[in-house]
Amino acid sequence: MKTDRKDTLVLVTGGTGFIAQYCMLALLNDGYRVRTTIRSPGREDEVRAHLKVGGVDAGDRLSFAIADLDHDTGWAEAAAGCTYVMHGASPTPSGDQTREEDWIEPAVNGNLRVLRAARDAGVRRVVLTSAFGAIGVGHGPDHRRPFDETDWSNLEGNVAPYQKSKTLSERAAWDFIAREGGGMELSAVNPVAVYGPVLGADYSHSIRLIANMMKGQPGCVNVNSCCVDVRDVADLHLRCMTDPAASGERFLATVGDSLWMVEVAELLRQRLGAAAAKVSTDVWPDEQVRIAGETNAQLKAVAPLLNYDMNATGKKAERLLGWAPRSREEAIVACAESLVRLGLV
C-alpha cells in the first residue's frame, strides 16, 4: 500500500488552516504526496514551519497552488493530477462585512468551485470539512438530543450567519454531487469544537476560547459544547477519504458528552496547576451577557447559545469506520499545554 501512496496526490484546500494542517500531517505520515492551496505565496514558509512543529519535514512531498475561493483562477491547476481532495477552506468575511450574503455566497460558491474543479480533474472522492453548525443549531429545546448526522440546522431558528453559511454550503455540495458530480464521491466531516495541540500563533476560534481562559478572561458564560482533538479530526478525514463505507455519508467528529465552559475551566485548573492560575471559574449571569451583547458583537453571537443543549454523538464514525478518538479531556489539556509550550499564553 505504501508504494501506491507515494504516487497518490491529495489536494488539501486552505493550507493555513488548523484542521487542514493536521490533515496534511496525517497524509504525509501515511505516505501520500500533498498539494495545498494558499491565497498568497508568502504563506508557504509558515505552513512548512507549522508542519515541522507537528513532526514532519515535508520537503518535496508537499507542493503549493495559489487559489482563492472567491475566484475561478487556479482551481483547475490545483486539482490536476489529484486522486482525492480534502476541502476545508472556508471564506471568513472581514469585520466590516456583516450581511448574511457576505458569509453565505462565498461559502456556497467556494464549495462549488472546488467541486467542479475536482470533478473535471477526475478526482475520485472529495472529503468536505463541514461543521456542527450545519447540524445542531436553530432547534428548540424539544428537539431530540444528542444530535446526529440525520440532523440539519434549522435555518428558521436563531442561526448566526457563519452557521447558516456552513449549512447552506454543505447542502449545496450534496446537491452538486447528486446533479453534476459525474460519479465523483463525497463524504463530509462535521467537527464540533476542535482542540488539541496548536502548531503556531495562527489558531482557530475554538482554540482562542482556551487561550482567553488561560490569559485571565473574567469568567465563563453558560454555553456548552462537545469537543474533539484535531488529530482525531484529521484521522477521520483520512478514513473518509479511502473507506468505501464513507462514500455519500456525513460524520460528526465528536467524543463524549458536551461540556459547559465552566467545566472546561475547572479541568484546566485541575490539570495544569500554576500554568492555569489565571483561569476563572466564575460564571457570568445570562442577563449580563445579553446586556453586554447589545454593544459587543462577540457576546451578541453567544447570547442565542446560552443554556442551549449542544450534545452530539460521534458513534456513527466509530461504528462504520473504526474511528477511535481521544477523550475530550485529553484534547483540551493537550491544547492548553501546547499554548504554554509555544509561549502563546
What domains, with CATH codes, occur in the chain?
Answer: 2-341 (3.40.50.720)
- pLDDT on residue 269: 97
Rounded to an integer, what is the distance from CA 7 to the centroid of its chain?
Answer: 27
Nearest CA to 129 out of 101, 94, 95, 169 is that of 169
Contact in structure between 24 and 15 (CB atoms under 8 Å) = yes
Question: Over the Cα atoms of the chain, what is R_g?
Answer: 20
Where do the H-state alpha helices sit in 157-302?
161-180, 205-214, 230-242, 261-272, 286-292, 297-302
DSSP state of 181: -
Distance separating alpha carbons of residues 23 and 91, to the nearest angstrom = 19
Distance separating alpha carbons of residues 341 and 14, to the nearest angstrom = 26
Distance separating alpha carbons of residues 159 and 136, to the nearest angstrom = 10
Higher model confidence: residue 102 or residue 125? 125
- Is residue 300 part of the annotated active site? The answer reads no
- Chain position carrying cell 488529530: 231
The one-letter amino acid at 217: Q
Contact in structure between 317 and 250 (CB atoms under 8 Å) = no
What crossing angle do the helices spanning 205-214 and 261-272 adopt, rounded to 10°? 60
Active-site residue identified among 164, 166, 278, 315: 166
Q: Which three cell numbers stand for residue 18?
A: 488548523
Distance separating alpha carbons of residues 123 and 75, to the nearest angstrom = 13
- Chain position carrying cell 451577557: 289
The pLDDT tens digits for 281-321 are 999 999 999 999 999 888 888 888 899 999 999 999 999 99
- Chain position carrying cell 508537499: 62
Mean pLDDT of the chain: 94
Bond before 146 cis per omega within 30 degrees:
yes
Percent of the chain with pLDDT over 90: 86
Distance separating alpha carbons of residues 10 and 27, to the nearest angstrom = 8
The pLDDT tens digits for 163-215 are 999 999 999 999 999 999 999 999 999 999 999 999 998 778 899 999 999 99
